[in-house]
């Protein structure tokens, strides 16, 4: 883990990807939100929908500068790598982790086969390494020494694609040999593959003067590439369904999706955030996007990116995410972007959809009266003065039941006050 300092937090410059996110963070402005003015003070209200992943839990992995995470198709085997040199694995759905017998390198990206036995890890300024035994032992491949930014693997692990500044490099023999693809000369920041790795999608950051670029696709395993209609943007990461038809890409400040292999793209209802990593279920219906911010929250979509909801992940600089093929289990790694931040690995389960109870706010004697159905059990009322903050406090006032409604009469307060119901 990076050394701590008593001074004010300062950005930690390490990987090119982190430097890119740093530039984007400096341009972020707080979003203006519409509130409801009531009797001289401001109240806004909404409810937390329990359809999202509500159970993010820290793991036994140590704090570190985690940069990549991958998992098997069933979500039982996990792999995570850190820029500090660590590679950790888990074989029990992410509950327990231990250090792999891997060399100390500045790891930037990882990939896994569907069974979790064949793994790949790419180091900054070094080679791509592979493991054929679930991470117990690692072998350096004959890949070029590059500042690798992203890795993708076929379901059986035999085919690999690696993104770096220059061209995209390919291997069709378990990493034994590597050849350059006919991709444009660019700074490739993200890459993803279909199950057979015939269909690839990759995002570009401008290698000359800025971090803007385009998204390209390949339908012949990376030999040839075509620029898609995705806009010229600050791309960070891409994801693909198993058939390569449903794609997703993160940028600052939007998330884009495609349902036709990259021919057409659309932005959606995701809020304007500095988005980092993104992962997709095998059918492309479920997506998880990482928010790279001190109060960052991972967001989930269960309709292919049409709508998004925040999860209960803690405020972290989330850099990368991965998920099981059915979208029932997810993992995320955070990066200690500032000296007071702690990099960690979290695991979550996606709860089945439920109907969220309606919450209303009325005025009673100049004070806000918060109500919700008494039939909605297992919820607690929370409040915060700032929606941009990830800090919510439980309301200590116990509700009373009137006309089959739970009611809490709050004290009048100046400024903004936001309320939510959270499933316990």
Write out the chain's pLDDT in tens, 424 residues.
222 233 333 444 456 666 666 666 555 443 333 233 333 344 444 444 444 445 899 999 999 999 999 999 999 999 999 999 999 999 999 999 999 999 999 999 999 999 999 999 999 999 999 999 999 999 999 999 999 999 999 999 999 999 999 999 999 999 999 999 999 999 999 999 999 999 999 999 743 345 789 999 999 999 999 999 999 998 999 999 999 999 999 998 999 999 999 999 999 889 999 999 999 999 999 999 999 988 789 999 999 999 999 998 998 999 999 999 999 999 999 999 888 888 999 999 876 555 668 888 888 888 889 999 988 877 889 888 887 666 788 999 989 999 989 999 988 777 778 888 887 6
Q: What pLDDT does 128 receive?
A: 98
Confirm if 358 and 45 have CB atoms less than 8 A apart: no
Q: Domain 36-50+355-423, what architecture? A: Sandwich (2.60)
CA–CA gap between residue 349 and residue 66 (Å, rounded): 21
- Domain at 57-349: CATH code: 2.130.10.10
Contacts 24+ apart (CB under 8 A), 29-33: 30/388, 31/271, 31/272, 31/388, 33/387
Global confidence as pTM:
0.76
- SS3 at position 97: coil
CA–CA gap between residue 106 and residue 125 (Å, rounded): 8
Whole-number Cα distances in Å, 351 to 55, 66, 267, 284, 355: 8, 26, 26, 18, 12
Q: What pLDDT does 20 receive?
A: 62
> Considering just the CA atoms, what is the radius of gyration of the chain in Å?
22
β-pairing, 165-166 with 169-171? unpaired
The position carrying tokens 């309606």 is 358
Alpha helices in 61-144 (DSSP H): none
CA–CA gap between residue 201 and residue 189 (Å, rounded): 11
Q: What pLDDT does 78 receive?
A: 98
Q: Do the domains 57-349 and 36-50+355-423 match in fold?
A: no
- SS3 at position 23: helix
Strand partners, 80: 69, 88
Tokens (6 digits) for 166:
């220059």
Tokens (6 digits) for 396:
């200590």
Angle at 264 between CA 260 and CA 268, to 5 degrees: 100
Q: What pLDDT does 41 receive?
A: 40
Q: Would you kindly state where each structural domain of the chain is located, as residue ranges?
A: 36-50+355-423, 57-349
């Amino acid at each position: 883990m990076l050394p701590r300092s008593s001074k004010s937090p300062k950005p930690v410059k390490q990987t090119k990807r982190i430097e890119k996110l740093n530039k984007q963070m400096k341009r972020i402005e707080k979003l203006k939100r519409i509130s409801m003015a009531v009797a001289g003070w401001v109240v806004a209200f909404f409810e937390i929908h329990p359809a999202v992943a509500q159970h993010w839990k820290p793991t036994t992995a140590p704090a570190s500068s985690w940069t990549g995470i991958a998992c098997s198709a069933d979500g039982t085997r996990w792999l995570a790598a850190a820029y500090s040199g660590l590679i950790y694995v888990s074989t029990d759905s992410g509950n327990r982790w231990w250090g792999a017998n891997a060399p100390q390198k500045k790891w930037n990206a990882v990939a896994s086969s569907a069974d979790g036995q064949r793994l790949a890890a790419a180091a900054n300024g070094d080679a791509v390494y592979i493991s054929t035994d679930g991470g117990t032992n690692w072998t350096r491949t004959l890949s070029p020494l590059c500042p690798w930014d992203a890795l993708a693997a076929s379901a059986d692990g035999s085919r690999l694609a690696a993104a770096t500044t220059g061209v995209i490099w390919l291997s069709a023999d378990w990493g034994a040999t590597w050849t350059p693809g006919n991709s444009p000369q660019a700074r490739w920041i993200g890459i993803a593959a279909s199950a057979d790795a015939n269909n690839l999608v990759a995002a570009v950051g401008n290698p000359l003067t800025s971090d803007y670029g385009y998204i390209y696709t390949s339908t012949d395993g990376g030999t040839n590439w075509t620029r898609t209609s995705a806009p010229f943007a600050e791309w960070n990461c891409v994801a693909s369904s198993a058939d390569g038809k449903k794609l997703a890409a993160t940028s600052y400040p939007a998330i884009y999706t495609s349902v036709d292999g990259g021919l057409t793209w659309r932005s959606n209802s995701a809020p304007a955030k500095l988005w980092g990593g993104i992962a997709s279920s095998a059918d492309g219906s479920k997506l998880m996007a990482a928010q790279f911010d001190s109060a960052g929250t991972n967001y989930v979509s269960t309709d292919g990116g049409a709508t998004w909801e925040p999860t209960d992940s803690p405020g972290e600089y989330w850099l990368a995410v991965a998920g099981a093929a059915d979208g029932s289990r997810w993992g995320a790694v955070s990066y200690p972007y500032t000296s007071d931040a702690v990099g960690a690995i979290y695991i979550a389960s996606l709860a089945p959809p439920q109907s969220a109870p309606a919450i209303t706010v009325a005025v009673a004697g100049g004070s806000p009266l918060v109500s919700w159905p008494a039939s909605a059990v297992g919820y607690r009322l929370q409040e915060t003065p700032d929606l941009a903050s990830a800090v919510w406090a439980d309301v200590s006032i116990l509700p009373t039941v009137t006309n089959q409604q739970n009611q809490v009469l709050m004290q009048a307060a100046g400024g903004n006050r936001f309320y939510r119901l959270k499933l316990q």
